[in-house]
Each structure stands twice: as C-alpha cells, then as structure tokens.
Amino acid sequence: MPLRLAMIGRSAAVQWRVIYALLMREILTRYGRHNIGFLWLFVEPMVFTTGVTILWTLTKSVHGSSLPIVAFALTGYSSVLLWRNMPARCIGAIEPNLALMYHRNVRVIDVFAARLLLEAGGATISFITLSLFYIYIGWLEPPDDVLTVIGGWLMIGWFGASLATFLGALAEKNEIVDRLWHPISYIAFPLSGAAFMVDALPPIAQHYILYVPMVNGIEIVREGYFGSQIHARYDFPYLLGCCVGLSLLAFAQVAVINREITPQ
C-alpha cells in the first residue's frame, strides 16, 4: 500500500510539472513579452466587465429587481466570462500542442488543464479585483456571505471546465463543434441568467430556465452577494448532476482522443 501511494505521488508530481510547463508556455505564446504581458490575462476580462457595467448603467437595464446595476452586471458578466471562455479556449487546443506531445508525459488532458487553469484564473482574478475596487469606491456593498459566493463560483467553474474539456476533445474529431460553439455561446448568453433574476420571470418560465445549468450557478453567486435582499431560485442537485455527468462524458472523450492522436 505505501508503495502504491508513493507511485501515485510520483505520478502527481510529474503531472503537475507538465501542467506547469504548459501553463508557462501558453502564457508566453498568448501574451508574449510585449507591453503588460501576461497581465492581460485578467485585464482583458476586467475591461469587458467594466464596459458591460457602464453600458447597463447608462441604459438602466431592466433586470426586474431593486438591486444596484453595478452589482448586477459584475456578478452576471463575470460568471458569463467564466463558463464561456473555457470552452472557447479548449476547442482547437490540441493542434498547436501536437509537437509537444512527442514528450511522453505531455497528454491531451494536461493541455486542457493548463488552458482551463489560465482561463478560470483570469476570470477569477478579474472578478475579485473588480469586486474589491467597486467596494472600495462605494459602488458595491461587500458580499453578504463570501462562502456562498465561492461555492457558486466554483460550481460555474466546474461546469465550464467539464463542458470545455468535452467540447475540446469532441472538436478534435469533428470541426462542426467549433463552427457551432460560437453561435450557441452567443445565444446562450441572454439565457444564462446574467441579465435577469429568475425570481423576476413568470412562474412557468422560471420552471424551464432552471434547466439551464449556468442559471443555477449565477443565482447561487447572487444569493451569496445579496443575501436576503433577493430571492434566489436554483436547483443545486440538478446543477451538481450536470457537472458530474459532463465530467464523465469529458473524461471518456479525452480517453478516446488519447488513443487516436498522432503527434507531429
């Protein structure tokens, strides 16, 4: 048994080394060494979120609650960035890394993991930095329950990561995935709960919209942020089921791709 544990430990060390090396390699090719370099990792989503916040404030978006629009836009749009950017980066992730797979320990799952960490990290740093900034300048109240915010955020991240891995592996076999992801992610945006509270919808719509996994996650984040000011509606077991199911599908697809890939 101790031998077994030692072996697992060694494998974990190798895996971490590979993911770290890929992470650094991704940062270099994506952001390079010019101007602010890898700071773009979270400056880019911050610019996005700030822009959307300003737009929504100017147009006085109707979101069906008495919440400040800044808080609404920040929680909503940050969440969208989290689940939407990961699949976008994982689709087509294998091709530019095929040459590196000449090294036995560099596997498809490591390539995905590096990109997921980078994308989730960027979205998270952006969310935290903007939150702190808005709180500091008085546009936002500190979250009611930080742990709930973290819980909701992690669930959205898990959903995004498993979806990204699944689509990334699938895209390797069929380019239709790449073609369809762009329109689908675009259409999914207004349905994702970023721009409305479920409670503000008619009851029949509430029932159906909760079938969209991201909506549940965003509602949890907002519950953590606003506490009893709002009535969050979500189905946690359903969201958990979606994440577990997608993760299993994702691992299965990665296993298939691992067998079929030809490094070049």
Partner 1 sequence: MIRVEHIHKVYPTRTGDREVLNDISFTLNHGEKLGILGRNGAGKSTLIRLVSGAEAPTSGEIVRTMSVSWPLAFSGAFQNSLTGLDNLRFISRIYQQDYKNNVNFVTEFTELGLYLREPVRSYSQGMRARLAFAISMIIEFDCYLIDEVAAVGDAKFHERCEFELFQKRADRAMIIISHDADYVRKHCNRFSVLHKGKMTFYESFEQAHDIHIRNLHTPI
Contacts with partner 1, residue ranges (CB under 8 A): 17-18, 20-21, 24-25, 28-29, 96-97, 99-106, 258-259, 261-264
Distance CA 140, CA 143 (A): 9
Q: Give least dist CB 119 to partner 1, A.
A: 19
Q: Give least dist CB 114 to partner 1, A.
A: 11
Q: In the 3-class helix/strand/coil scheme, how is 129-146 assigned residue by residue? A: HHHHHHHHCCCCCCCCCH
Q: Give least dist CB 6 to partner 1, A.
A: 17
Which residue from 133, 159, 129, 127 is spatially nearest to 224, judged by alpha carbons?
Answer: 127
Q: Both tokens of residue 150? A: 């973290």
Q: Give least dist CB 174 to partner 1, A.
A: 14
Q: Which is nearer to partner 1, 37 or 96 (CB)?
A: 96
Q: Give least dist CB 139 to partner 1, A.
A: 41
Q: Which is nearer to partner 1, 25 or 63 (CB)?
A: 25
Distance CA 71, CA 204 (A): 27
Q: Which is nearer to partner 1, 75 or 253 (CB)?
A: 253
At CB < 8 A and 24+ separation, what contacts does 247-251 make? 247/158, 247/162, 247/165, 249/162, 249/166, 250/162, 250/163, 250/165, 250/166, 250/169, 251/165
Q: Which is nearer to partner 1, 33 or 60 (CB)?
A: 33
Distance CA 184, CA 164 (A): 13
Q: Which is nearer to partner 1, 9 or 96 (CB)?
A: 96
Q: Which is nearer to partner 1, 102 or 136 (CB)?
A: 102
Q: Both tokens of residue 53? A: 């916040």
- In what helix (H) or strand (E) does residue 262 lie, and over which residues does it extend? none
124 residue type, one letter: T
Cα–Cα distance list, 150 to 93, 156, 164, 227 (Å):
28, 10, 20, 14
Q: Which is nearer to partner 1, 16 or 208 (CB)?
A: 16
Contact 241, 158 (CB under 8 A): no
Polymer length of the chain: 264
Q: Give least dist CB 17 to partner 1, A.
A: 6
Contact 242, 161 (CB under 8 A): no
Q: Give least dist CB 23 to partner 1, A.
A: 10
3 state SS of 225: helix
138 residue type, one letter: G
